[in-house]
Structure 1
Amino acid sequence: MDIYSWLQRDDSFHLIQMTPDLVKTMENNERLIFKSRDRDSSIFLCSDSKTFHIRKKNHSNTVIVLKHDKENAKAIGFASMDSELEPKVVSGSIDISDVPLFEETGEEFTDFVKRTNPPSFADLRAVSTASKTEFDVQWAELNGCEIDGHAVILGFNLVVSVLKTIITTLVAYDMDQEAFSATKLQERLEDIRPEFARTVLAQFATKTPAGYSLDKPKISRWFGLQVLRSTLAPVKEEDFLINWKDAFPAFFDVSIDIQSLVGSFVRPFPNMVQFYNSAGLPQDPVQRFKELFKIQASWSLEEMKPYVEDLNSRNLKLESFVMKYARRKRIGKNYVITRR
């Protein structure tokens, strides 16, 4: 093909790869926004549902061409580019380093704002390198709350108090816990700010065509984790289950299952459980398994899984991966994982 060059340098334009994920996003007519935490940080492209990390790939000898006319195959080069932008789907995130923790201590909110200078909720959403969906989900999990346009994080004790009050109110007024109106609930929450109730419902309830429905499995697990964390020393599993059941508001009918807490506890002794934070586990597989067997002599494969699955980079069958660093031992009708 004959090419005639008429090259102009214009750094205000950049090429971006049209990956399948990006094409699908555009076909869905989702709005795309470039975001960065500051001028020196990485650049992200955020849609309603996905977050793309943008990486600049430098290259040379790239000419942008167009056909010169319809009569022949001649083309004209009209611009040159020395780089292109490569979008890669990543998990979005919210930087809450400047978002203060709010506990209801009797302090007026206006005084709290003067003292802590929280960012506006609109600004936080605008600069957060996360899609709209990811932001909403993460903000709810963080107990994020918008009060008078300001972004704050509700403190743990405040969340517990509001959640218990919501559950107690639903039970006391015999409201349908699987289909209740947030408006009617708020009418009965005399001492709870509407913003607090909305924040707690965002984490512990789901919206349905009929209103809101309490997420009982999530509520059950959440209370179980709080009881587990409060017990520093090993505790009999039977006693733990009793304490877990007692932690719920009176007359709240919800089931408990210790398997829902897998990944948050270990069994240092038979029939005993203890809270365990896996954040400090070694990244080296050999050292990771050595540490786990130091904590607990034998494991079920199901209870070991959350502590080792991040190491399985080749996506092997879990049992095959574990057998590279441990062995399987039969005890009665069951199998357990022990050190080599």
Structure 2
Amino acid sequence: MHNQNDTYNKEIVLTILHKFGFQNPDSPTSFKLNNLEISKWFGIQTLLSSASATSIQPKQLLINWKSSFPPFYNIPIDLKDLRGYYCRPLKDQIQYLDPSVLTDKDISARAKDLFKVVKEWDYDEFLPFIQHLIPSGKKTDSVILKFARKKRVGKNKFMVTPR
């Protein structure tokens, strides 16, 4: 790392390693890359650039996401890893949804914001947007049912709609 490239100083490299890696407890100078965090970061960046202004088909997003990695870095990707960063304005389309622009006051206000964007949410895609607002010890479904409806649409599939 020394004298190879003055653009990257030790602090920058360590910051990146701490964000995208695991430090070896036996050797504080040894790190292992966290492929899930790296994949998620690339996925969010791809979602932001590909589906920010308009929606995109999930298959196309996966192609764009996979091609955003360096050629030597082949890791698995899964759309589930990006939950909490996208919505489905149409059934076969996804679009980037920045969670930081949503109301973070309480679950009711957050749900209203989410239902303004999309009227019907897949339960598993809805949860990451509100999970951090659910008080510990409370059952997720009981909190959701205070401000929304949960309906079964398949054997193990549920949708969340406004009340």
User: Contact 2:107–2:134 (CA<8 Å) still a contact in 1?
Assistant: no
C-alpha distance in structure 1 between counterparts of 2:61 and 2:94, whole Å: 8
In the alignment, does 2:11 pair up with 1:190? Answer: no
Q: Which residue of 2 aligns with 1:279?
A: 100
Flag the 1:205–1:308 CA change in 2: closer, same or farther, 3 A: closer
User: Which amino acid is the alignment partner of residue 142 of structure 2?
Assistant: S
Deviations 1:161-186, CA, capped at 9 Å, x for gaps? xxxxxxxxxxxxxxxxxxxxxxxxx3
Structure 1 Cα separation of the partners of residues 107 and 34 of structure 2: 36
Q: Deviations over 1:28-61 (max 9, x none)?
A: xxxxxxxxxxxxxxxxxxxxxxxxxxxxxxxxxx
Given that residues 115 and 161 in structure 2 are in contact (C-alpha distance below 8 angstroms), is that contact kept between their aligned partners in structure 1?
Answer: yes
Q: Give how far 1:237 is off.
A: 0.7
Task: Give the counterpart letter for 1:190 in structure 2.
Answer: Q
Select the structure with the greater relative contact order (CA < 8 A; seq sep ≥ 6).
2
Equivalent position SS for 1:256: coil
Consecutive unaligned residues of structure 1, counting only runs of 5 or more, are 1-185
Normalising by structure 2, report the TM-score.
Answer: 0.80
Cα distance in 2 between the residues matched to 1:324 and 1:228: 31
**Which is richer in strand?**
1
Q: Verify: 1:223 aligned to 2:37, yes or no.
A: no
Query: Aligned pair 1:338/2:153, yes or no?
Result: no
What runs of 5+ residues in structure 2 fail to find an aligned partner?
none
User: Aligned with 1:206: secondary structure?
Assistant: strand
Q: Find the aligned partners of 1:286 and 1:207 in 2 and give their Cα distance.
A: 39
Question: Displacement, 1:242?
Answer: 0.5
Length-normalised TM-score, structure 1: 0.41
Deviation at 1:251, TM superposition (A): 2.2
| CA apart distance, 1:200 | 2.2
Deviations 1:249-294 (A, max 9, x none): 0121211122111111111111211111223333354443232122
1:304 CA drift (Å): 1.3
| Shift, 1:224, TM fit | 0.7
When residues 251 and 325 of structure 1 are mapped into structure 2, their CA distance, relative to the original with a 3 A threshold, is same
Matches within 5 A, 1:140-219: 186=1, 190-191=4-5, 193-195=8-10, 196-208=12-24, 209=26, 211-219=30-38
Asked if the contact 2:21/2:33 (under 8 Å) is kept, the reply is yes
Is 1:322 the counterpart of 2:138? The answer is: no
Which entry has the higher C-alpha Rg, 1 or 2? Answer: 1
Q: Residue type of the partner of 1:228?
A: L
Corresponding position of 2:134: 312
CA RMSD of aligned residues (A): 2.3
Contact map agreement 1:301 1:319 (CA 8 A) in 2:
no
Query: Percent of aligned pairs with the same residue?
Result: 32
Match of 2:111 in 1: 289
- Report the CA distance shift for 1:311/1:213 in structure 2 as closer, same or farther (over 3 A): closer
